Amino acid sequence: SVNHLAKLTQQAQLDGVVCSPLEAKAIKEKFGEDFLTVTPGIRLTKGQDDQKRTATPYEAALNGCDYIVVGRPITQAEDPVAAYQAIKAEWQKGLAEKALF
């Protein structure tokens, strides 16, 4: 159903979709690198809360996510600035590794 909805989105001439970070790679492969993916469910560690379809910032970058949405890992952190910096560092590490492929 993800591919069907992404196809409808593309046919409507929209720029991309909101999807799980686990689906971004398949969407990019099927609809092209220019079709944007916005991905919530970003966590510093797997199994951190009640969501099942999550990924770390590093994994999201490797999967081709264009934009990540991060809420609770920052807002509920003991040190939100440190949490943000850790997320940013992981994201940048993943983007750098992806660029090598």
CATH code of residue 21: 3.20.20.70
* 53 assigned to a ligand binding site: no
User: What integer pLDDT is reported at residue 83 of this predicted model?
Assistant: 95
Domain of 69? 2-99
- Tokens in use for 45? 């560690």
Domain count, the chain: 1
Alpha-carbon distance of 65 to 54, in angstroms, equals 12
CA angle 94, 98, 101 (to 5 degrees): 155
Alpha-carbon distance of 15 to 70, in angstroms, equals 21
* 92 assigned to a ligand binding site: no
User: What integer pLDDT is reported at residue 55 of this predicted model?
Assistant: 94
Alpha-carbon distance of 75 to 67, in angstroms, equals 18
Q: Please, which pLDDT band fits residue 13 given cuts at 50, 70 and 90?
A: very high
* 51 assigned to a ligand binding site: yes
pLDDT at 47 over 80: no
Alpha-carbon distance of 47 to 12, in angstroms, equals 35
* 71 assigned to a ligand binding site: yes
- Tokens in use for 58? 């590093």
